[in-house]
Amino acid sequence: MKLFFKLFIIVAIFSSTSLATEYNIEYNIKVRGLEIGSLLWHLELDLDKYTTTIQLNDSGIFSGLYRFRGEYKARGKIKNASLFPQEYSQIWKTKRKKREINIFFEKNKITKLILHPEEKEEARIHYFKLLNYMDPLSSFLNILINNSPSKTIDGRRTYTLNPSNDLKKNKILIINYNNIWADHKRNDLEYIEIYTNKEVFPLPPRVKIKFKNILFELTKN
């Protein structure tokens, strides 16, 4: 996985001197075989920069009971076939709640973290002192490139995405999990499992995510 994706990134970058290379993939999201939503993943690679966006929407027979929408964006620079984030944003909206997160990076450090609504608790982690942390989208893509652990911050927690040595499973374990805010004591994200396919590189055709003891299965349309 590491070799194929790294070669793909290098070829994509140097074969497009000025025009960006774009990729789109749509997934069905299922829980226990029942469709609950859809996910559209967009990736754009340029000579020295990247942009990636994920859009989540409810669908299926339960969409009338639980409506949700999510949008996640990351952009940054590409150096030596590795990604370095500059900005990350997240919007999560249901019938009752709307949450927004914005993280800004510079020189491998977090320069600004904005939450809406604002947290009332004191931060338990000095996140401005963290070094070489990435947003979740950039971190996931970096693992596809390098297949090595990636330190991650999503605005509410920090953790390390740690790829398994078993190349057949391609499981990414969540380790060193810490909640930033005192009122968040849960370890929600357990693991991510990806299934690679050279024909649809760079984005995987199938993904499994264990979150809050629920297994979400994402399958390419």
pLDDT per residue as tens digits for the range 131-160: 999 999 999 988 888 788 999 999 999 999
Nearest to 160 by CA among 119, 122, 132, 184: 132
| Residue 59 identity (one-letter amino acid) | S
Nearest to 35 by CA among 208, 219, 213: 219
Q: What is the Cα–Cα distance from 177 to 157, expressed in whole angstroms?
A: 7
> Which region among 28-32, 69-73, 77-81, 135-139 has the lowest average model confidence (pLDDT)?
77-81
Cβ proximity of 101 and 109 under 8 Å: no
**Number of C-beta neighbours around residue 117 at 10 A:** 9
- The overall average pLDDT reported for the chain is 85
- The predicted pLDDT at position 107 comes to 94
Task: Say whether pLDDT at 213 is over 90.
Answer: no
Of 90 and 24, the structure prediction assigns the larger pLDDT to 90
Backbone angles phi, psi at 73, to 5 degrees: -135, 145
Of 30 and 167, the structure prediction assigns the larger pLDDT to 30
- The predicted pLDDT at position 2 comes to 47
Nearest to 36 by CA among 71, 55, 61: 61
Give me the mean pLDDT over the 100-128 stretch: 95
Residue entry with tokens 């401005």: 128
- The predicted pLDDT at position 16 comes to 45
- The predicted pLDDT at position 53 comes to 97
pLDDT band at 14 (very low <50, low <70, confident <90, very high): very low
Task: Name the region of 149 (left: φ>0; alpha: ψ -120 to 50; beta: rest).
Answer: beta
Q: What is the Cα–Cα distance from 199 to 211, expressed in whole angstroms?
A: 28
CA distances from 139 to 16, 30, 124, 150, 162 (A): 24, 24, 22, 6, 10
Percent of the chain having pLDDT more than 90?
52
Residues in the chain, total? 221
Cβ proximity of 106 and 47 under 8 Å: no
Of 164 and 185, the structure prediction assigns the larger pLDDT to 164
Of 104 and 193, the structure prediction assigns the larger pLDDT to 104
Task: Say whether pLDDT at 17 is over 80.
Answer: no
Q: What is the Cα–Cα distance from 127 to 38, expressed in whole angstroms?
A: 32
- The predicted pLDDT at position 7 comes to 44
| Residue 189 identity (one-letter amino acid) | L
